[in-house]
A and B are shown apart, each in its own frame.
Chain A
């Protein structure tokens, strides 16, 4: 399993994909950082987590994570290398987990690089450490959930490009679901809005940016990741039965 993880991670760094991903994540971070400095009303610099992370995660999950996950299974299927993995002494669940961990590592590397912003802010001003930690935990879990989602979509189709478009589409649908949640129409339907609220990633993420690390939110994100990964395993197993 480790050798597959290593190979996947190498694959991301041998091609431009990982570099482009990290560069874009850093660009988004720095863009919001500069924007936030320009609009700051006081001379006392204080790190504003909610703004900073809120738009950031949206752009990252909708546009960037699909770039990372699109190749995972779709390309193996396209090139016929899936057979190599399936005939090797690795179970499907180990294959999925190895690929998931490889993508997660790229995300973590990007996050570690983004530490320069709070550090810069801390030198010149004030950073609330508990908020910062909670925000990063939330950011990681949110990211991992979308990585799992991206892997799942990638396991459904046979071309990486299609996998990426579908992942973006699914992420956008989820994003609009969150937008609707704030509308007055849904507020008039308490049952529906409650149900949608349970599945809202944004709402939970806001708790994290406020510095709250709630067990219920943690469990919810982890369940989400587990469900998507399990679905990926099932989709690959199912295709084994029907492939020709």
Chain B
């Protein structure tokens, strides 16, 4: 169990993390969600004892990370954003080294790393130089490193970045599998990953917690609506007008051009019954509906909404200045440009 209380971290006079408190229960997968630069990595680094906090406490299985670092760190396996691997070592050698570092008794080391390698499907790689491995395999070696010594708590900082879709599914299964005997904290800026595996979600932005709850609760409490994606032939203005006049339609948004006369629309509706009346209204106007797809709860919107909310009370002039800088930049950052590298660099 990890308890985080009133955690604050300042870099100079810029606050990276402000007064964060939450707990991770045993055998739980906690998703840590936030846009780039929200303070995710800073928080995880503080939990692992890599960097000290300005104030606040982190208690891991009853050991304080500041006062009892050796015992606390023994309970943690950490996979940072960049896998901490030595490129000039072989996979087997590297894992043996980590096992020694974590204090696995010398007689058990070999069988222990073999078990971990089997779990991650990297047994064939054990004689290969890490420097010659592909990114996906390096990531797995990093993963293996976090599992060595059977730590109770496993902390993964964006473990899915740079993996191909099949590897992604593997990582997801592995995380689900870890739940049996570990607690997992798993950070990401990609919502679908979090909602696929996590029991609870912590949403963080501007270094402050925006929400801590289960995904189901988040959906119901935020009053999120179903969003229909429809593809219609006809004038976009007419379609938008017709659709928004239907009772129960809350909003028509995101009109995108497909080809001449055909557009797609995101229609937010209060409940599923509205779909019928919406479609018939369009048909009456002789607007040809080509496609209706994706009836999804707009969890994405909860996230984007929370993230776009201006940060709370400002504590310093520097924060105000930073905010002004942020605003002058294009604001669509959260949606597609998340992967863009300059955003990545801002990540702490």
Contact = CB atoms under 8 A, between A and B. Distances in A.
Given A81-B85, A86-B50, A88-B73, A244 B11 contact: yes
Contacts of B87: 79
A88 B102 contact: yes
B169 interface: no
Interface in A68-85: 79-85
Give the interface size bracket for B toward A.
35 or more
A89 B73 contact: yes
Interface in A185-214: none
B51 A241 contact: yes
Contacts of A4: 97, 100-101
Contacts, number: 83
A242 B81 CA distance: 18
A42 interface: no
Interface string A88-129: 111100000000000000000000000000000000000000
A130 to B, nearest CB: 41
A244 B347 CA distance: 9
A15 interface: yes
B252 to A, nearest CB: 43
Interface size bucket, A side?
20 to 34
B333 interface: no
Of B49, B69, B78, B84, chain A has the most CB atoms within 10 Å of the CB of B84
Given A87-B78, A88-B73, A81 B86 contact: yes
Interface in A202-243: 240-243
Contacts of B52: 240-241
Nearest to B45: A83
A89 B51 contact: no
Contact of A242 (B11, B49, B76): B11
B86 A91 contact: no
A89 B74 contact: yes
A89 B100 contact: no
A89 B86 contact: no
The 6 closest A-B pairs by CB, nearest first: A3-B100, A84-B84, A80-B82, A89-B73, A87-B48, A81-B84
9 contacts: A3-B99, A4-B97, A4-B101, A84-B84, A86-B50, A87-B76, A90-B70, A91-B69, A244-B348
Interface of A: 2-4, 6-7, 10-11, 14-15, 79-91, 240-244
Given A11-B89, A86-B49, A244-B42, 19 more contacts: A4-B97, A7-B89, A7-B97, A14-B88, A79-B85, A82-B84, A84-B84, A87-B49, A87-B50, A87-B73, A88-B73, A89-B73, A89-B74, A89-B103, A90-B70, A90-B101, A240-B51, A241-B51, A243-B51
Interface of B: 11, 16, 42, 45, 48-52, 69-71, 73-74, 76, 78, 80-89, 93, 97-103, 145, 348
